[in-house]
Amino acid sequence: MLEKAKAGDKARRGSKTKVRVRVAEDGRIRVRPDTLATEEPMEIRLITGGERQTVAVTMRTPGADFELAAGFLYGEGILSSPEEIEKISYCVDADVDAGQKYNIVNVELRGGRDYDLRSLDRHFYTTSACGVCGKASLEQLELRGCPVIPSGPEVPVETIYALPEKLREAQGLFEATGGLHAAALFDREGNLIALREDVGRHNATDKLIGWALLEGRLPLSENIVMVSGRSSFEILQKCLTAGVPMVCAISAPSSLAVDVAREFNMTLVGFLRGNRFNVYSGYERIRA
């Protein structure tokens, strides 16, 4: 169906870049090799009814590009199911520079129906760091018909305490580069189901939700999403559209992230480090 996205989306460009650096230590200079997280632009093109339109350009770490495109479009309300996708592919047009063809992803949709792309205007260019940058609002989510998350499941505090270490142990690219964020999906018992890495938190989340969409796992109503770093409006928005009841983060949430969690009955955990965390919303899902 999807030109089997899993087969076609094998990190065509490396996720790691080798460099040589000079290290100053104890008054001495030495040269050694180093590994960096690759950061390159990716253009998402939507093809429907014979029309082709660029809907976003994001700075990302190559790898899981098809999941990133699918997750982004799902989070923005353009897609509602994987059946709407006819094909996801890299752009191989003759007029595209050979060095850039794996930085352009075409998402071809079934049928010729019109799609409301106004919600994508703010995304035409997004950085790996901030994404929405506060331009979206709770009203937009309500107008899109995002449902309030139902009650449950309950998760013991001990299960939540263990999530950061499990996430860290599974971060293979971070281990090599020290420069990547991660978004991980856990079940209610704290078992790791999937993890995606990227230079941007929101990209990692898109890759994770895109994987769940293409695998037919949505909604994620019995799962926990854990993100490295802080939780922003955009992270909560993406998790809300995927039906995630609990979002945990290593660092602080933004005020708008807390607003989204409270408005839509999501559990939001921040500063999850060791045997301590803060609960900003939805404390009834946590069993002491």
Q: 3-class DSSP state for residue 248?
A: strand
Q: Counting every residue, how long is the chain?
A: 288
Q: 3-class DSSP state for residue 187?
A: strand
Cis peptide before 147 (omega within 30 of 0): no
The neighbour count for residue 247, using CB atoms within 10 Å, is 29
| Selection from 176, 220, 174, 233 nearest residue 194 by Cα | 220
The residue from 130, 146, 239, 248 that is catalytic is 130
> What six digits make up the tokens of 222?
């019995």
| Selection from 154, 155, 162 nearest residue 276 by Cα | 162
Contacts of 199 (CB under 8 A, 6+ apart): 37, 39, 59, 60, 61, 128, 179, 180, 181
In the chain, the amino acid numbered 199 is V
* 239 tagged catalytic: no
Q: Can you give 36-94 as a three-state secondary structure string?
A: EECCEEEEEEEEECCEEEEEEEEEECCCCHHHHHHHHHHHCCCCCCHHHEEEEEECCCC
Contact at 8 Å (CB) between 10 and 4?
Answer: no
Active site residues: 130
